């Protein structure tokens, strides 16, 4: 909590919490609206809305990274909040399902602009590594608490107002977020070392940086583990264990509680062991846990198996949190400060692309092949992903990488202090992919021709 003493970060964090609360209220209200419009087909409406959300995230993210250099970050975040507030105002008045889809597309496109921009702003506000790590854990806590508390808040409001009024709470949340962002002066953004990145730069950054390729593989492992929780918990609770509907809250709460606990422990753990050890170790537990779920769901339901599944859900939450929370540290180390918006936008888009793959896979397999097969297939996917991440992420990463430039003219500002080496000039510095460095130095030669 010590990072909240920073005035700028404190206001940005409160803006995040307020917006998340509004989003949580909208989630509940949207389900009730879908039932009003579609009745028994409400699940199909919500499933389509979820797919639209992921498509918006995957498609808009790279575009945000490309325009972030041309506009104010604060203006971009405030504009996105205003678009989200306007969309929330319109949702209670829709009368057709297609109108819901159109508004959800607009709402989630604005969220795809706000979230990576917000994430890319925090490293400049909290330049100290320890403070930034604490901020990442605090952000994870905010997401987890929102998933636990927003349904309770919605239930309390529904006892006194019709569900359509929940959208008013959503509007207030987004407007409050915009107002708080307007009150802060963000650090001056460094000028890019070359031309502004194209929309494809973030994807190229991930493709060319070994630890970012590993991060993407870990995102896929998390998506495989999380999909069975978010998509199949209702089938597990109602059809396999024959528990009442209220037990679904218990199952999802177990996952959230595990995530909360991991977020609280991570700052100290990361300070001792580092990102690679924590993230790969946590991810390696996910396939084993999914294998245990496959065994438990293949047996006849029992009280002992029920509590074992709840334990597995809590451990899955802890594992996913331990992988996701340090991702910002990895991104911060892998991109120049001016390129952070593009890096976070690419991470936002690519990680949601993983969920776009695993969500329907988890649903289709559960419906056609059953829960044991679903857990086995998703566990195998997670295992392959973790193995790929371990292979891509070098065990030892030196702070400075020596490399040779052959394409920059002598006297170029980037080559200050460089020494002649063969056909080019050699120097060393913390290496990131940017306009001067297009490929990662090979481990053997530790040189590149850029």
pLDDT in tens, 135-158: 877 887 777 777 667 666 776 777
pLDDT given at position 103: 87
For residues 233 and 307, state if they share a domain: yes
Burial of 40 (0-12, 13-18, 19+ CB in 10 A): exposed
The residue among 138, 163, 188 that closes a domain is 188
pLDDT in tens, 13-23: 888 888 888 87
pLDDT given at position 449: 40
Specify the number of domains making up the chain. Answer: 3
For residues 129 and 273, state if they share a domain: no
List of residues 6+ apart from 117 with CB closer than 8 A: 64, 68, 73, 76, 77, 80, 341, 344, 345
What Rg, from alpha-carbon coordinates, does the chain have? 23
CATH code: domain of residue 40: 1.20.1250.20
pLDDT given at position 406: 72
Q: In 3D, which of 231, 187, 206 has the Cα closest to residue 348?
A: 206
Q: Which residue has the tokens 């130095």?
A: 441
Residue 429's beta-bridge partner residues?
A: 401
| 390-424 per-residue burial string, b: 16 or more CB within 10 A, e: under 16 | bebbeeeeeeebbbbbeeeeeeeebbeebeeeeeb
For residues 70 and 14, state if they share a domain: yes
pLDDT given at position 450: 42
Tokens of 278: 């924590």
pLDDT given at position 448: 42
List of residues 6+ apart from 85 with CB closer than 8 A: 170, 171, 174, 175, 178
Pick out the chain residues at pLDDT < 70: 1, 27, 31, 35, 40-47, 61-62, 65-69, 147-148, 150-152, 155, 188-200, 245-246, 413, 435, 437-438, 442-450
pLDDT given at position 189: 61
For residues 223 and 357, state if they share a domain: yes
pLDDT given at position 34: 72
pLDDT given at position 132: 80
Tokens of 22: 């509004």
Tokens of 335: 């991109």
Phi-psi category of residue 305: left, alpha or beta, with phi > 0 → left and psi -120 to 50 → alpha: alpha
The residue among 143, 158, 188 that closes a domain is 188
For residues 323 and 337, state if they share a domain: yes
For residues 163 and 204, state if they share a domain: no
For residues 215 and 70, state if they share a domain: no
SS3 (DSSP) at 425: strand
Residue ranges making up the domain that contains 52:
6-188
Report yes or no on 1 lying in a domain. Answer: no
For residues 391 and 404, state if they share a domain: no
| 76-96 per-residue burial string, b: 16 or more CB within 10 A, e: under 16 | bbbbbbebbbbbbbebbebee
For residues 288 and 418, state if they share a domain: no
For residues 364 and 221, state if they share a domain: yes
DSSP for 243-268, please give it: --THHHHHHHHHHHHHHHHHHHHHHH
Please give the model's pTM, rounded to 2 decimal places.
0.78
CA distance linking residue 141 with residue 135, whole number of Å: 10
CA distance linking residue 20 with residue 268, whole number of Å: 26
CA distance linking residue 307 with residue 343, whole number of Å: 40
Half-sphere exposure of 148 (CA within 13 A, CB side): 16
| 203-240 per-residue burial string, b: 16 or more CB within 10 A, e: under 16 | bebbebbebbbbbbbbbbbbbbbbbbbbbbbbbbbeeb
For residues 411 and 386, state if they share a domain: no
pLDDT given at position 331: 85
Query: Residues 16, 132: contact at Cβ < 8 Å?
Result: no
> Within 325-402, where are the H helices?
327-333, 340-368, 371-392
Beta-carbon count within 10 A of 114 CB? 26
Tokens of 440: 């990662």
Report yes or no on 345 lying in a domain. Answer: yes
For residues 235 and 306, state if they share a domain: yes
The DSSP bridge pattern shows strands 401-405 and 419-421 to be unpaired
Report yes or no on 207 lying in a domain. Answer: yes
């Amino acid at each position: 909590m010590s990072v909240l003493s920073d005035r700028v970060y404190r206001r940005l964090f409160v803006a995040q919490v307020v917006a998340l609360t509004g989003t949580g209220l909208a989630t509940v209200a949207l389900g009730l609206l879908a039932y009003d419009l579609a009745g028994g087909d409400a699940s199909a409406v919500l499933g389509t809305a979820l797919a639209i959300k992921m498509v918006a995230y995957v498609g808009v993210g790279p575009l945000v990274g490309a325009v972030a250099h041309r506009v104010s970050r604060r203006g971009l975040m405030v504009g996105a909040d205003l678009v989200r507030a306007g969309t929330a105002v319109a949702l209670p008045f829709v009368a057709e399902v297609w109108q819901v889809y159109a508004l959800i597309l607009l709402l989630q496109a604005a969220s795809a602009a706000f979230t990576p921009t917000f994430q890319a702003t925090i490293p400049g506000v909290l330049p100290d590594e320890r403070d930034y790590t604490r901020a990442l854990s605090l952000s994870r806590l905010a997401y987890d608490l929102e998933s636990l508390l927003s349904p309770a808040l919605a239930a309390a409001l529904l006892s006194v107002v019709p569900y359509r009024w929940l959208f008013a709470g959503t509007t207030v949340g987004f407007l409050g977020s915009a107002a708080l962002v307007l009150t802060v002066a963000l650090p001056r953004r460094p000028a890019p070392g070359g031309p502004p990145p194209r929309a494809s730069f973030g994807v190229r950054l991930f493709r060319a940086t070994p630890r970012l390729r590993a991060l993407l593989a870990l995102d896929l492992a998390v998506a495989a583990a999380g999909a069975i929780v978010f998509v199949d918990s209702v089938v597990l609770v109602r059809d396999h264990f024959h528990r009442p509907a209220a037990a679904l809250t218990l199952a999802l709460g177990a996952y959230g509680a595990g995530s909360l606990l991991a977020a609280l422990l991570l700052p100290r753990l990361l300070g001792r062991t580092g990102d690679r050890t924590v993230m790969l170790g946590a991810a390696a537990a996910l396939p084993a846990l999914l294998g245990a779920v496959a065994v438990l769901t293949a047996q006849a339901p029992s009280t002992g198996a029920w509590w074992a599944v709840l334990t597995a859900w809590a451990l899955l939450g802890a594992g996913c949190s331990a992988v996701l929370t340090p991702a910002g540290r990895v991104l911060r180390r892998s991109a120049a400060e001016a390129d952070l918006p593009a890096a976070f936008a690419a991470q936002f888009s690519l990680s949601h692309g993983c969920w776009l793959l695993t969500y329907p896979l988890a649903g289709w397999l559960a419906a056609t092949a059953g829960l044991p097969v679903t857990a086995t297939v998703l566990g195998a996917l997670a295992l392959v992903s973790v193995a790929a991440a371990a292979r891509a992420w070098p065990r030892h990463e030196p702070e400075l990488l020596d490399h040779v430039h052959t394409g920059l003219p002598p006297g170029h500002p980037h080559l200050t202090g460089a020494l002649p080496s063969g056909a080019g000039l050699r120097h060393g510095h913390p290496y990131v992919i940017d306009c001067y460095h297009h490929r990662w130095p090979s481990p053997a030669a530790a040189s590149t021709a850029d």
